[in-house]
Structure 1
């Protein structure tokens, strides 16, 4: 049976809800199975009014998108609960690889720069598609970037997403330019300052934060303010500083981050500009690669994951496409930052988005 047939929207009563595999401030996420096809998917459920607003926004946004770089919504189910309280189930394709945040937790390390380049390229493809269709994601971070078992990347969690007015569709809901949501340490300065309508440049700032997160296994660091999130938020919004860049990062990577963290939104590079940047198209300089401390396999599950790049030169485009489909992530030892991993959840609780969903993953 084709995979496309396995992911058909289940008919009412023709699907079974499995165990909860994630939760957030606005609802729960369960594994589910289509009884007619045996296909797996996940269901996001919401009952409170606030939860319904975010989930309906996600459903409306995803309902008008179709891209191999965006997680697919396969349907929705509206129900009347007790005392007339509305319920909503949103059916989403199942991404067996989990999220980029899961990868760091699972391997107790951070991503190698070669993988960061590949993943960043795929994230950019998703952003280019969104921006061409008038959508700003508004909550880009590692938790909201999902992987298939083969390593394909898709953007997910569109509860905070906004569609710009010039791209309104009949199913889109009007969004207030004053309302913001997302995760503070990943938000752009202009968003935190509530300066007019949010635009695509906000996603680019968040992309830079996501690259740092992949490279360090932690949120962007603003001096010692990670221990005081509100001080960090104030510095993001009102200073002229940039977050601390990853140690040992290549010159292409550092330049890429500078383009993302340009405080003047008119000068900040677009997703299309960045897709042509050497960081995502070029080959990692061997001199920079010498600074990377690779993580030795600790079990049979890690063995064979890493393999050296071929010496044969092929096109940059082909390298990116082949690598992302062929490999699963491997890690390197973090430069003195591994202690953060054991405290990730407690730190995130201080700075998490009110609309954040915990990434779906089967233990």
Structure 2
């Protein structure tokens, strides 16, 4: 694509170093997404382009090309052209559905993600940041109204067998990190499987694991240096619980692979397709839309749960069963860590240190870790906690400098 053949539209998203915009092809009118960053800070986008260019899978977002343009001041801008998926992310869908997804939908989305992960892993690629916010939704091609999941945002991805890449620190979102990643040991395909399990917890409960942790350091400590695993939601089916136990094996060598999980009954069962209910505008029973809307209107004054009205009898029964959704919470409360790396040959930054924060990030989760803190510092603090627990070695000064409350920090880390 040339600059004269496409035009930039509205902003879809904005990070610390890149902006995602809607764009259109002037020749065909087709829409696509463009990720843009200043050229000196575009290493993560260039790496994403190299990785996506080697991938061809319907369950992984497509890369359409790249281009360098210049802003009004003559500064070079790197642009990465991506497939536009308009229905948002799984995290968006969780909010739209009032805080949790029905298990039949979770099964279908997990099946889609496994297909994408299996393709990436077979190609020697590790995503490194699987979570609801990085999984997009689109309509199935059969036109039946069902949605399918697609893996996106490979800015943290790496080649699993690239020795040079091993020098790059680990990356991702702490709440979804596997134990071996939290310890800084390795980040291979098993880490994506663990993160998928965390994403299933997010879809089932509306929250990622470890939200009871008081801060990122205590979460990293529990993930990497204890024997704990994320709590498996009690409302899941036995098949779902068993699937999560396979994902949450702390030993990466014993953790099931994406290929093995694709054969698990949770995603390989005929139930995935048999339980898909088609939305029909004509009510067939008292639980259909018009009747339910009338009931909700009468209860609106006393209800504080919020959330969108469900569109099928099964969804409404699920809402009765659970007694209403919890307040929506997702991984916006967590930081995404990306590393810094330099390409000596080209002199361009090949990565970035990107602590993602949203405007509504809950400050109580970060009494210690501030924006700009590297993952290495987080891991070092976690190790310091271990030494403190063993011999009461004082915690590092960075804690007191950032919060001036060492006792509170110690207490939070020990919880």
Task: Measure the CA separation in 2 of the matches of 1:201 and 1:126.
Answer: 14
Q: Are the structure 2 counterparts of residues 57 and 44 from structure 1 closer, same or farther at C-alpha, using a change threshold of 3 Å?
A: same
Query: Is 1:164 matched with 2:148?
Result: no
TM-score for both structures, normalised by structure 1: 0.76
Task: Measure the CA separation in 2 of the matches of 1:281 and 1:136.
Answer: 23
Task: Measure the CA separation in 2 of the matches of 1:350 and 1:116.
Answer: 22
Q: Are the structure 2 counterparts of residues 101 and 268 from structure 1 closer, same or farther at C-alpha, using a change threshold of 3 Å?
A: same
User: Out of 305, 309, 312, which is 1:306 matched to?
Assistant: 312
2:264 aligned partner: 277
2:332 aligned partner: 348
Aligned residues: 307
**Higher RCO (CA-CA < 8 Å; seq separation 6+):** 1
- 1:186-265 equivalence runs, <5 A: 186-195=176-185, 197-221=186-210, 224-225=212-213, 227-265=214-252
* C-alpha contact (below 8 Å) 1:28/1:45 kept by paired residues: yes
* C-alpha contact (below 8 Å) 2:39/2:78 kept by paired residues: no
Task: Measure the CA separation in 2 of the matches of 1:296 and 1:106.
Answer: 19
Secondary structure of the 2:33 match is strand
Task: Measure the CA separation in 1 of the matches of 2:138 and 2:209.
Answer: 26
1:315 aligned partner: none
Query: Is 1:20 matched with 2:11?
Result: yes
Q: Which structure has the larger Rg?
A: 2
Task: Measure the CA separation in 1 of the matches of 2:25 and 2:49.
Answer: 19
CA RMSD of aligned residues (A): 3.1
* C-alpha contact (below 8 Å) 1:208/1:261 kept by paired residues: yes
Task: Measure the CA separation in 2 of the matches of 1:55 and 1:232.
Answer: 29
Task: Give the C-alpha shift of residue 45 in structure 1.
Answer: 0.6
Query: Is 1:144 matched with 2:150?
Result: no
5+ residue gaps, structure 2, are 141-146, 273-286, 295-307, 339-353, 359-415
Task: Measure the CA separation in 2 of the matches of 1:142 and 1:350.
Answer: 12
Task: Give the C-alpha shift of residue 176 in structure 1.
Answer: 3.5
Q: Are the structure 2 counterparts of residues 67 and 283 from structure 1 closer, same or farther at C-alpha, using a change threshold of 3 Å?
A: closer
Secondary structure of the 1:179 match is coil
Task: Give the C-alpha shift of residue 231 in structure 1.
Answer: 1.1
Secondary structure of the 2:165 match is coil
2:84 aligned partner: 94
**1:54-79 residue CA offsets vs partner (Å, 9 max, x unmatched):** 11111111011111111001111113
5+ residue gaps, structure 1, are 1-9, 169-173, 286-294, 309-328
User: Out of 68, 74, 78, which is 2:68 matched to?
Assistant: 78
- 1:109-188 equivalence runs, <5 A: 109-150=99-140, 151-165=147-161, 174-188=164-178
**1:239-281 residue CA offsets vs partner (Å, 9 max, x unmatched):** 1111111121111111110100101111000000000001111
Q: Are the structure 2 counterparts of residues 212 and 43 from structure 1 closer, same or farther at C-alpha, using a change threshold of 3 Å?
A: same
* C-alpha contact (below 8 Å) 2:288/2:313 kept by paired residues: no
**1:2-33 residue CA offsets vs partner (Å, 9 max, x unmatched):** xxxxxxxx332111111111111221111111
Task: Measure the CA separation in 2 of the matches of 1:176 and 1:335.
Answer: 45
